[in-house]
Amino acid sequence: MSKTMERGILKKKTKDGYERKLYHMELIGENYLPEIIELQDVVVNNLNMSEIFQSDSEEFFKYELRKGGKIIGVFSEKKLIAYRFITVPKTDSMNLGIDLALPKKELERVGHLETTIVHPDYRGNGLQRKTLYYALEIFNEMNCNHICSTISPKNYHSLRNVMSGGLVIKKLKEKYGGKMRYILHRDLKQTPRKEYDKIIDIDNVETVKRERILEQGFVGYQALKKAEGFAVRYGM
């Protein structure tokens, strides 16, 4: 069923440094669920902040795949080492377009970036960005107009990578039974903005400030690494 999207060489962490290994990327289906769940377990057991990641159940994967969702798998040495899961929520109440008050007729055209996972030994190869590039192509083919995603405000790596794909922070909200999440959005009909008239950098621990700025209509479009933690650059 599957067709290779990309092949190349990546670096794999070893106890002495790095080794170069071949990888390839392809769309995968339900038959890979045992490997997906196994990889998810490895990553969850390796998190230093458990609140930054929301696991997906096997049932959720199956439900979404049958509704049109897709999984991009990355393989090296015949093993799944990373994946990106995308869905099309359509009329589901969890459609993030509802949180962003998109017009009702646009909700059918929303695509969600769900989870992305890279095995710790293969991080630093830009796999989250690479799979995002293909996800955007798939969403375009599915006639989606809007891409939405939730990301923990503490997840610097994920914020930086997803914002590099033109998604901007529009809202901060409790999701998944009480976890704070930024809601990010990109209108696929528009070229992502690179310049804004007003710019403000807010340290990520300034929780009140960042909520106020979003209420004023600013959007967060860049994550800036600092000596301690990181800041988000907002523009209007």
Ligand X SMILES: CC(C)(COP(=O)(O)OP(=O)(O)OC[C@H]1O[C@@H](n2cnc3c(N)ncnc32)[C@H](O)[C@@H]1OP(=O)(O)O)[C@@H](O)C(=O)NCCC(=O)NCCS
What residues line the site for ligand X (CB under 6 A)? 43, 52-53, 115-118, 123-128, 155, 157-158, 161
| Nearest residue to ligand X, scored by beta-carbon proximity | 124
The crossing angle, in degrees rounded to 10, of helices 127-141 and 156-163 is: 40
Nearer to ligand X by C-beta: 32 or 53? Answer: 53
**In angstroms, what is the minimal distance from the CB of 212 to ligand X?**
26
CA distances from 66 to 3, 29, 30, 146, 177 (A): 19, 10, 9, 21, 25
39 vs 123: CA distance, rounded Å: 14
162 vs 132: CA distance, rounded Å: 7
Please, how many CA atoms are within 13 Å of residue 232, restricted to the half-sphere of its CB? 33
Nearer to ligand X by C-beta: 60 or 196? Answer: 60
Picking from 137, 134, 115, 148, the residue whose alpha carbon sits closest to that of residue 40 is 115
226 vs 230: CA distance, rounded Å: 5
183 vs 162: CA distance, rounded Å: 11
**In angstroms, what is the minimal distance from the CB of 97 to ligand X?**
19
Nearer to ligand X by C-beta: 82 or 102? Answer: 82
**In angstroms, what is the minimal distance from the CB of 234 to ligand X?**
21
Picking from 104, 110, 123, the residue whose alpha carbon sits closest to that of residue 43 is 123
Structure tokens at 216: 């004023």
**In angstroms, what is the minimal distance from the CB of 218 to ligand X?**
23
Nearer to ligand X by C-beta: 110 or 118? Answer: 118
Nearer to ligand X by C-beta: 32 or 133? Answer: 133
Asked if residue 9 lies in contact with residue 22, where contact means CB atoms within 8 angstroms, the answer is yes
Nearer to ligand X by C-beta: 116 or 145? Answer: 116
